[in-house]
Amino acid sequence: MATSGDGPATTARRRSFARRLLAGNAGMRALSYRDFRFLTASGIIAGATYAGENVALGWVVLEATDSPFMVGLAIGLRHTPRLLLGIPIGALADRFPRRPQLAVFGVALTIVALAISGLFWLDAMPLWALLALNVALGTGWTAVQALRQSMAYDIVGPRDMVSGLALTNLAQRLGAVLGGIGVGAVLAATDPATTYGVIAAAHVVTVGSALLIAAEGRAARIAQESVMRNLLDFLPELARNGALAALVLLTAAVEVLGFSVLSLQPTIARDVLNLEADGLGLIQSVGAVGGAVTVVFLAMMRLRRRGLVFLSFLLLFGAGLVVLSQSDTLAMVLAVMLVVNAAMAVSDVLSQGLMQAVVPNQARGRAAGAWQMAIGFGPIGNVHAGAVAALAGVSVALVANGGALFGLALLALLAAPQLRRL
């Protein structure tokens, strides 16, 4: 029998308490917005799909060519659209409502994944076609990620910007845990055609969940000028905004030196640890756990010296790569990748948030595009790391990049007070 304490009044009080709890916490407050919850849920599936594509591409190319350089080239080409199209796509995101754009680009990703699956099924997939189609996937992801960053800010507003971006990043990293393990297992048990078919299905689910977002967001502002005018107006902003320019340059350097470790993971898994595709998926997924835990802390905290935290974690990033170069057991690799992915998470969240925070509200789509452009320099690091690994070994590549990243972060910490004060 229900007691009087379980009546409608008690239920209302419990709901009211839950709402107050959400409203009082910097991290959880963002989740009080219905549309942000749907954006986050769709981000989990998107993160799984993105990570799964990385696992599939890296392993298929390594098996086909037996070359770490070709793996680096393949992953680098996948990210090239960010460099070339990041800011133009950001201008597009500022000019038109973002929600329908997110659905359109999601459908485009589905079509490309289906094309890859079909060509593998027909046994008609030359390497050049796989690389070209992954450039198309990279183009779609450039748009989707820029739109997601902008929409998170649109919904939660400037007060909870870091927490909102941290939670969307967390969703993607949680998805990456599932995607890395899941796609690695599917690829090990079946074939590339089936694997890319599963990826295409995941894209369909992502589009469906994103369509549940009902509004543009209370902080959204759509520019009235043409896409070309938006683009041209943003170039002087980069020139006169020293903080934005510094963040773009530093993010690009971090992408080249630090995030290129992702292109070395297939070689570490197969040639250092003697693992199969499911082992590569395990390494990527466990690393994603480290990033996810770190993002939880970012979401729950109200950081006041975000620039200083950003630079400090870049020091940790560089040191972690050097330690990874000396790791020759699965347990060591997994432990170091937890730390490296934690540093990756901080770099991602804070570089995105700081770039959007230092520009006018109507230019935030282009700021997100500038971030995409900055990380678009990653192909240089991927190709360089793959070439060094092929010539001198993966350990040398990790030491070179990790040492350079540590030195760069230390220089910025000492010589860039404008970043420390952000």
How would DSSP label each residue in 117-169? HHHHHTT---HHHHHHHHHHHHHHHHHHHHHHHHHHHHHH-GGGHHHHHHHHH
Most confident stretch, 30-34, 85-89, 266-270, 332-336: 332-336
Note whether 51 and 179 are within 8 A (CB): yes
Confidence of residue 255 (pLDDT cuts 50, 70, 90): confident
Rounded to 10 degrees, the C-alpha dihedral 280/313/394/271 comes to -20
pLDDT of 217 reads: 55
Note whether 82 and 380 are within 8 A (CB): no
- E strand intervals along 140-228: none
Q: How far apart are CA 369 and CA 381, in angstroms?
A: 20
In the structure encoding, which two tokens stand for residue 46, read together? 């998107």
Confidence of residue 293 (pLDDT cuts 50, 70, 90): confident
| Prediction pTM value | 0.66
pLDDT of 416 reads: 75
Confidence of residue 68 (pLDDT cuts 50, 70, 90): confident
Calculate the CA 141 to chain-centre distance. 10
The predicted-structure confidence for 192-218, as pLDDT tens digits, reads as follows: 999 999 999 999 988 888 788 776 655
What percentage of the chain reaches a pLDDT higher than 70? 84
pLDDT of 17 reads: 46
- Number of other residues whose CB lies within 10 A of the CB of residue 235: 10
Closest CA to 379 of 262, 284, 280: 262
pLDDT of 191 reads: 92
211 φ, ψ to 5°? -65, -15
AA identity, residue 132: A
The predicted-structure confidence for 99-150, as pLDDT tens digits, reads as follows: 888 889 999 999 999 999 999 999 999 999 999 999 999 999 988 888 887 7
pLDDT of 2 reads: 43
Q: Decide which of 345 and 237 is more confident.
A: 345
Work out the end-to-end distance of the chain between its first and last CA atoms, rounded to an integer number of angstroms. 58
What is the chain's mean pLDDT, rounded? 80
